[in-house]
A and B are shown apart, each in its own frame.
Chain A
Amino acid sequence: MIFNTFVYYVLFLLPAAALYRWVGARSRPWVIAVSGCLFFVYFAYSLAGLPGTLCLGIFLWEALTSRLYQQGSRWCLVGMLQSVLFLGIFKYWNFFSGILFWRHANPLHWRGAFLPLGISFFTFEFYHYAFDRRAGRSEKGTLGEYLAFILFFPTMVAGPIKRFQDFLPKLRATPEDWQHDWERGLTRILTGLAKKFAIADLMTAWTVHLNRHDIALADRPVLLLWLFAYGLQIYADFSAYSDIAIGSARLFGLGVPENFNWPYGRRNIQSFWRCWHMSFTRWLIDYVFVPLGGSRVPLPRVCFNILAVMLICGLWHGAGWNFLAWGLWHGILLVIHRLWRRVRGAPSTHAVPVLASRALTFLAVNAGWALFCMDLSTATLFYRRLLAG
């Protein structure tokens, strides 16, 4: 990946962050925009060749169309639609066309399909900007400022998903205590890298066994070990990436949203989702759940909204039935929690129920990881072997 290469630090982060500090206020957004373009071209080329590189045009097109967004404007709807289309075509074309031609050869199959670098994240930032501009919740900003927002390379590849109205004031402010920013930023980057290598990568010694062949051969208790190892790996991996992104942004003197807040050990699944991939959860709430009616509608409709949001959540993570199943699992857990709260009222504060609820939430979350990391048939084999031997 990108954050564990020398090139990221030596060629992009350190020079760009240093230059950002030295130039004047008017040039700062352009430092980010230009370095973001170079970053995209470099890494997109190494991942997907020339077609990947040409996807830089998506950013430039979006930057131009964004100049038309105004409060209440239909151009914002166009902007939202095109973000969804970009994501849909690149990420889901083969999946959905495969469903249309179920059990037959897919004539619409896109053989050379590839994913533009960071598409799952930058399309969400495009959508947010268009949506909030239409709702009058976000300032327009200059072209340079918007380019800096969408091309800010520390968050381009794996988030956190930013909000323009949070980013803009920080971009306009003059960074003051750069020594402190660099000390804190580098600390965050180093601890993120340590977490990635010493925990996440080490766990792959176990999680590499999550395949049909090894699941069939392993002792049953070890299956549980592998499942928990995956839970730890994905948390350490993703939170480490967020740490590095946030630390990198700090070198510029810019703050970006936190993404994780000790999610394991939360009392219930709702708290878990408020602490796991927080920028993404907030995005789903603001741009999917609330527009569907949120919690202000009758209970059956609320449950439907929750399930719809979590199915989208699952699908966003990957174009596959197993991801939909994983999303559905969490949707069901959230619905059960909502119904439980309605019946039982406020949660208990006694030690035993608190501990029990934390343990149960931890187990329920980890139980779902098998769906996330394996295809449906392998995951089914896994659960069958784990539960029935």
Chain B
Amino acid sequence: MLVICLVSLVAGNVLLWIWSRGLNFRKDLDNIQQARNPDILFVGNSLLDYRIDSAALNQGAANQGAASGGQTFTPLNTALGATDANDQAFLALYALQQHPQLHTMVVGFYDYQLTEEDRVTPVDLVGNHSIAFDSRIPVREIAAVDHFDTFQTGELLLLRILPMAACRVNIWKYAERLRRSMGGLGIRPETTEIMGRPRSYYVTEPRRFLEDPSHFDSSYEYLFSQATAARMHVVLVLMPMSPIHRKVYYTRQTWQDYMVKLQSLSQQRGFTFVDASAWMPDATQFEDAIHMTGTAATAFSFRLGAELATVPGDTKPGN
């Protein structure tokens, strides 16, 4: 009986490993590996995922004329939907490791994303957070970014060895979808954004940062320290938000105070801060409250290219 179960488990592990090779974060890592001589790195979540138009970016830069100094960009977009700061850091760090010639890092964010702290344990690594199970991300990096203690690091190591644990996310999503369809029975669904998060979620207040505006979220701090060590220039872009989102959340006093402190911190660190939140004034340019349409993404890329052309990006020796 034990033998049958062990044989079945081994077969299950192999099949699941094969099936999971096409997961989004794996494709992202493959794209990073295969990218050809990128020089500008984009980091972010679904707001930036598939929303950098390379041609429009370069057109925007060219439009700056003399100010751009004829600069062109070869962007590498590591932004991935459904990720948190730590996941984005892993992708970006992998890109830095694969492409040392990168000279600029552009981090797209919204609301309090840059400063919200998130505590993660190995058990929380579902969805796109399972990027931590990919063997291309060093364990010590994960332990450093996620603040795993020795025991949790051991747990992570063990989970990475077993494909059934590391690739569980493919099966997990079906159970999760079942739960959500069950939960939606007989109750009027709340308006959600395209990723499924209800609008009522966006009510958090950044108390910790307002009291102590000396640092970003620890995952971004780690990433920025690596970028600075690699002599990259960091650009923080507050992503375009729909008029309704700006009206409801960005007119609040808390947000105004937060922005002042955030910009001040960026300045202290020598980062460039671009407030693009009002770049798209028309609600039709958004699929929901926060995600741009494809057309809007092109316009955004054009304008961002113009902004980036004036940023001192060529700081690496030999560039």
Contact = CB atoms under 8 A, between A and B. Distances in A.
Q: Do chains A and B touch in the complex (CB under 8 A)?
A: yes
A218 B179 contact: no
Interface in B156-195: 175, 178-180, 182-183, 185-188
B30 interface: no
A206 B181 CA distance: 10
Contacts of B183: 205-206, 208-209
Contact of A225 (B179, B185, B188): B185
A209 B1 contact: no
Contacts of A206: 182-183, 185
Contacts of B178: 202, 205
Nearest to B187: A218
What DSSP secondary structure best describes chain A's contact surface?
Answer: helix
A183 interface: yes
Contact of B187 (A6, A202, A204, A217): A217
A214 interface: yes
Nearest to A207: B183
A217 B188 contact: yes
B149 interface: no
Given A217-B187, A218-B187, A219-B187, A205 B179 contact: yes
Contact of B182 (A6, A205, A214, A217): A205
Contacts, number: 31
Contact of A221 (B179, B180, B186, B188): B186
A222 B186 contact: yes
B297 to A, nearest CB: 35
Contacts of B188: 217
Contact of B185 (A6, A183, A204, A222): A222
Contacts of B118: none
Contacts of B287: none
Query: Which 10 pairs across A and B sit closest by C-beta, in order of nearness?
Result: A222-B186, A205-B179, A205-B182, A219-B186, A205-B183, A218-B187, A218-B186, A217-B187, A206-B182, A222-B185
Interface of A: 6, 183, 202, 204-206, 208-209, 214, 217-219, 221-222, 225
A209 B182 CA distance: 11
A45 B278 CA distance: 50
B275 interface: no
Centre residue among A204, A205, A206, A208 by max chain B CB count within 10 A: A205
Contacts of B282: none
Given A221-B186, A222-B187, 5 more contacts: A204-B179, A205-B183, A209-B183, A217-B188, A218-B187
Contacts of A6: 155
Nearest to A224: B186
Contacts of A209: 183, 187
Interface string B1-29: 10000000000000000000000000000
A214 B187 contact: yes
Nearest to A229: B182
B218 to A, nearest CB: 23
Contacts of A202: 175, 178-179, 182
Contacts of A217: 187-188
Nearest to A222: B186
A221 B180 CA distance: 19
A247 to B, nearest CB: 15
Contacts of A205: 178-180, 182-183
Contacts of B1: 183
A219 B184 CA distance: 11
Contacts of B185: 206, 222, 225
